[in-house]
Amino acid sequence: MILDQSYVLTPEQIEFYKENKYIKLKNVLDDATIVHYKELIGRKVQELNTQNIPIEQRDTYSKAFLQIMNLWTHDEEIKKFVFNKRIAGIAAQLMEVEGVRLYHDQALFKEPGGGFTPWHADQYYWPLETDKTVTAWIPLQATPLEMGPLEFSAKSHLLQDGRDLKISDDSEQVISSKLRLGDFEKIVEPFELGEVSFHSGWVFHRAGANTTDQMRSVMTMIYMDKDMKLKEPANPNQQADWDTWCPGAKIGEVIDTHLNPIL
**Domain positions in the chain:** 2-245
Q: Which of 216, 217, 228 is nearest to 91 (CA)?
A: 228
**3-class SS at 122?**
helix
From the CB of residue 45, how many other CB atoms can be counted at a distance below 10 Å?
Answer: 19
Q: What's the predicted TM-score (pTM) here?
A: 0.96
DSSP letters, 40-85, are HHHHHHHHH----S-GGGS-HHHHH-EEEE-GGGT-HHHHHHHT-H
Q: Which of 37, 171, 67, 62 is nearest to 113 (CA)?
A: 62
Q: Which of 185, 109, 182 is nearest to 147 (CA)?
A: 109
User: Per-residue pLDDT for the chain (263 aa), expressed as one digit of tens each?
Assistant: 899 999 999 999 999 999 999 999 999 999 999 999 999 999 999 999 988 888 888 888 777 789 999 999 999 999 999 999 999 999 999 999 999 999 999 999 999 999 999 999 999 999 999 999 999 999 999 999 999 999 999 999 999 999 999 999 999 999 999 999 899 999 999 999 999 999 999 999 999 999 999 999 999 999 999 999 999 999 999 999 999 999 999 999 999 999 999 99
Q: How far is CA 113 from CA 53, 199, 200, in A?
A: 14, 26, 28
From the CB of residue 261, how many other CB atoms can be counted at a distance below 10 Å?
Answer: 14
User: Which listed CATH number (2.60.120.460, 2.60.120.620, 3.40.470.10, 3.40.50.150) goes with 2-245?
Assistant: 2.60.120.620
With beta carbons less than 8 A apart as the criterion, state whether 149 and 188 touch: yes
DSSP letters, 13-37, are HHHHHHHHSEEEESSSS-HHHHHHH
**3-class SS at 232?**
coil
Spell out the residues 6+ positions from residue 21 whose beta carbon is closer than 8 angstroms to its own. Answer: 154, 155, 156, 157, 199, 200, 202, 203
What is the C-alpha separation between 64 and 154, in angstroms, rounded?
22
| DSSP structure class, residue 190 | -
With beta carbons less than 8 A apart as the criterion, state whether 107 and 67 touch: yes
Q: Is the dihedral of CA 20, 152, 26, 196 positive or negative?
A: positive
What is the C-alpha separation between 207 and 150, in angstroms, rounded?
5
